[in-house]
Amino acid sequence: MKILILGGTVFLGRYLIEAALARGHGVSVFNRGRHYPDLYPEVEKLRGERGGDLAALGGRRWDAVIDTCGYLPRVVQASAELLSDAVGQYIFISSLSVYADFVPGMDETAPVGTLTEEQLKEAEKIETGDRATAVSYGALYGPLKALCEQAAEGAMSGRVLIIRPGLIVGPYDYSDRFTYWVHRVAQGGEVLAPGRPDRQVQFIDVRDLAEWVVRMTEANRTGVFNAQGPDRPLTMLRVLEESRRVSGSNARFTWVSESFLMESGVTPWSEVPLWVPDEWEGLKHVDFSRALAAGLTFRPLAETIRDILAWDATRPPNTEWRAGLKRERELRLLRSWREANGS
């Protein structure tokens, strides 16, 4: 197959390229060339701008296109319309954030979020880099992805595959939302652990996602699929214990209640990754049985942790973390927790 990938080579895009090449496909990538431009010399590199300059895509044909970075519906519409006669299938990487409400057990039929015209204007500010004046950036993300899905389907009706991943983890994940825990546990000592040890968590290794997307592309699948993992219940305690085992650290876990974290002003998900309040619990109980039936598979948790540790060790010591508690903040919270509980 000839596959076109819209997006960069930073995280998911890099593994889509590797998965496609490993299965013998020809790959072209379309992006601005700002990140790792020398990677994958065997891949055709087309340069342009999603929001404007699509000239490099003209007059060409591919079997399928995988859109990894569509954020604004007008941008996705432009790409899909331009490529509608040039590709047979449009794969759009969306997000579980599209859903209007996170109800435990929700599947692909759950309602998606919507936006007002004013909110769409705010999104345009974000696209042009004016994030300082744009409001509610996080609140816009999911509904915008939903509109992007609709834009792709509108341009290529019946030929669109929509993948809705949750938290994607693995090497080169610069969001640090899972890497934080692997890194922090490997450091050892007393680790602040959030909420209940038995709370379920869900995420997917980027390589499992990429390999499955390529297989779905080969099969010319269409429709909507939640892409989450693992294939059996996984608790926060297991994630931390497995991180300790793989890293060989002496970490010990102090479980701090959700109410204490909330009262202390701790930000869920970003400041303490994988932890969300009870009202968001549906985010960790998503039904992805359709993806399982379509062949989604998962590598062992230990492999994901080991490979993240190896990649993390290559990062500069002064790397600024984008998620997770700063060490001083963690120590203060642990001290306050012990004082509040007389220990």
Q: What residue ranges define each of the domains in the chain, with the CATH number in brackets?
A: 1-165 (3.40.50.720), 173-201+232-284+300-343 (3.90.25.10)
What pLDDT is attached to residue 130? Answer: 44
Strand partners, 28: 4, 44
pTM for the model stands at 0.94
| For helices 137-155 and 73-83, angle between their N-to-C axes, nearest 10 degrees | 20
Q: Token match 């790397």: residue?
A: 319
Q: Token match 């306050």: residue?
A: 336
The DSSP element (H or E) to which 123 belongs, if any, is helix 117-127
pLDDT tens-place values along the chain, 343 residues long: 999 999 978 899 999 999 999 999 999 999 988 888 888 999 999 999 988 899 999 999 999 999 999 989 999 999 999 999 999 999 999 999 999 988 889 999 999 999 988 888 878 776 555 444 444 457 788 999 999 999 999 999 999 999 999 999 999 999 999 999 999 999 999 999 999 999 999 999 999 999 999 999 999 999 999 999 999 999 999 999 999 999 999 999 999 999 999 999 999 999 999 998 776 766 678 999 999 999 999 999 999 999 999 999 999 989 999 999 999 999 999 999 999 987 6
CA distances from 295 to 118, 141, 153, 227 (A): 41, 28, 23, 11
The span from the CA of 124 to the CA of 103, in Å, is 30
The span from the CA of 249 to the CA of 251, in Å, is 6
